[in-house]
Amino acid sequence: MNFEWFVSRRYLRAKRKQKFISLISVISILGVAVGVMALIVVLSVYTGFTEGLRDQIIGINSHILVQRFGGNITDPEETAARIEQVKGVEATSPYIYSQALISSAQASSGIVLRGIDPAGAGRVINIGRQMQSGELADLDLPGDLPGIIIGLELARQLNVGTGSRIRLISPEGPLSPMGVLPKIRTCEIVGIFETGMFEYDSTLGFVNLDTARSLSGDEAGVHGIEVRVTNVERADVIGRSIRAELGPGFSVRDWMQLNQNLFAALKLEKVGIFIALDLIILVAALNIISALIMVVMEKTRDIAILKSMGATTGSIMRIFFYQGAVIGLTGTVFGVMGGLGLCTILKRYKFIELPSNVYPMSTMPIKVVPLDVTIIALSAILITLAATLYPSWKASRVRPAEALTYE
């Protein structure tokens, strides 16, 4: 054991007349621990919420959208085959978008229609897992009326259920002397889905490609191709590969670009939360400064004696630096252990429920990211170590002659 560490340990052990200083040291450790624990728990909840929101968004949508500039994709089979040759692409499916008015006997509402291929869409989007009744394949069942799948909130607004009949009114009709004649199709509800996101559950509907063509007036081709990739985090890289494969005539946008504003705002909020909660650690660091300064004032005579016996300025600085470092490291360790333990409890038991009509998930989401925990621990250690510099420097400036003048 070296000399500086031995003296530092002795100073950390409170004597009877130094209990107040020891109490401040304990408060400093608790402050660092609480700050680190709060950062880990809050950022884990925030990361879990962000990933849950991302999964909800890309669950109902594809990872990448491919469109042709200036018009429809007239050869969807050939284009899809070229896309599927790109490394990282898992599946593709054509789609047609249109807007219409949906009405029942009781009410009416606007709806965004997505024409899909029921046989292949389930491999690209996760709507099949969110069906409350019916299946995607029911859109192609033979019958007198074409089928439609709508969201649960829209079904509640229209007061309809599976098997009910509704009317779709599209403004994309033929031009007549009386103006544009709307197209009207009567459809049967063959399924109801629930994503947990109100904007999708209240405005979105699925029909097959033939029904979508008859309402949109696009007799040839499709509006675009939806793409699912093997690694959602590399969707931007795979998108660039698809763009290189198809050439300059195509627009390729991944889920990050389609929701850029939302996720950029969430990322900025996460940074803001990190900075705000770091202030708790900063307050604890101020406690460390005050505790060490009081120790220096209490140990001025001891410091003078140590210097008279040959202790260097660097040795005195290291004594108090080690003392502050022990406080900071102890608080950080306790904070990391407490934060990870609390996250484990919240993730396992899920006793905090969220209102489903406000949030896209029913329980508190927890996602512990090792990189976040590492950054939190390092920031806490750096802040607390920085707090020890001034008291250590102040201790090293003690002059033996002045301190021992009246001893």
Over the chain (407 residues), the average pLDDT of each successive run of 10 is 72 60 78 89 88 79 89 89 92 91 90 90 85 89 88 92 91 62 86 86 91 81 91 90 90 86 81 83 81 75 76 80 86 93 88 70 84 90 87 78 59
In the prediction, which pLDDT does 280 show?
80
In the prediction, which pLDDT does 260 show?
80
Which structure tokens are listed for 305? Answer: 């004696």
In the prediction, which pLDDT does 17 show?
52
Distance CA 371, CA 356 (A): 30
In the prediction, which pLDDT does 257 show?
85
Distance CA 31, CA 63 (A): 43
In the prediction, which pLDDT does 319 show?
81
**270 phi and psi angles, rounded to 5 deg:** -65, -40
In the prediction, which pLDDT does 177 show?
59
Axis-axis angle for helices 389-396, 260-298 (nearest 10):
20
Whether the Cβ atoms of residue 128 and residue 120 lie closer than 8 Å to each other: no
Burial (CB count within 10 angstroms: exposed 0-12, middle 13-18, buried 19+), residue 26: middle
3-state secondary structure of 87: coil
147-151/204-208 β-pairing: antiparallel
Which structure tokens are listed for 359? Answer: 């949030």
Cβ neighbours for 190, distance < 8 A, ≥ 6 positions apart: 134, 138, 139, 141, 147, 148, 149, 162
Whether the Cβ atoms of residue 124 and residue 92 lie closer than 8 Å to each other: yes
Cβ neighbours for 227, distance < 8 A, ≥ 6 positions apart: 62, 63, 64, 65, 66, 83, 89, 91, 92, 124, 242
Place of tokens 């909130």: 153
Whether the Cβ atoms of residue 170 and residue 102 lie closer than 8 Å to each other: no
Distance CA 306, CA 171 (A): 91
Residues 97, 138, 210, 93: what is their CA dihedral angle, to the nearest 10 degrees? 50
pTM of the model: 0.73
Which structure tokens are listed for 227? Answer: 């793409």
In the prediction, which pLDDT does 239 show?
92
The sign one gets for the Cα dihedral 156, 158, 164, 168 is: negative
E strand intervals along 200-337: 204-208, 224-229, 250-254
In the prediction, which pLDDT does 233 show?
84
